[in-house]
Amino acid sequence: MGTKKATAGQFRIKYVHPDNLRDFYINGAWGGITPRHEIYMHVYSERQAIPKDHTFKIMPDDSLKEQKLSTGADVVRLIQASLVMDIHTATSLRDWLDKMIHAIQQRTGGERDEN
């Protein structure tokens, strides 16, 4: 494979950050299980729907009176990324999240951020 052999007792991993790396704020996830028994997860952010169109009536005094606002939905969930992982990766991710949650709870005295 052409990889350099690890020295006794050490193994080094290098993290590479591509130029197009983006940070995503997420509010939730949706997903399921693939036919290959992998887990897929779409992470999303939520926001109020932006109107598709806005209709006004022009009044005799040239003011505008709102007639109709069409959004097509009450809430929009913008898919930020789609992730697919095997059960081993999912388990590692779960364990890491548990560790991070525990660290936050230790720092904040167990308080939770209730959005």
pLDDT at 110: 77
C-beta of residue 77 within 8 angstroms of C-beta of residue 29: no
Return per-residue pLDDT of the chain as tens, 115 residues: 455 565 678 888 888 999 998 999 999 999 999 999 999 999 999 999 888 888 888 989 999 988 888 888 889 999 999 999 999 999 999 999 999 999 999 999 876 655 5
115/108 Cα distance (integer angstroms): 16
pLDDT at 13: 86
Whole-prediction pTM: 0.67
What is the sign, positive or negative, of the torsion defined by CA atoms of 30, 45, 84, 102? negative
C-beta of residue 36 within 8 angstroms of C-beta of residue 87: no
Q: In DSSP terms, which residues pair with 58 in a beta bridge?
A: 64
Place of tokens 């983006």: 22
Q: Domain ranges in the chain?
A: 28-84
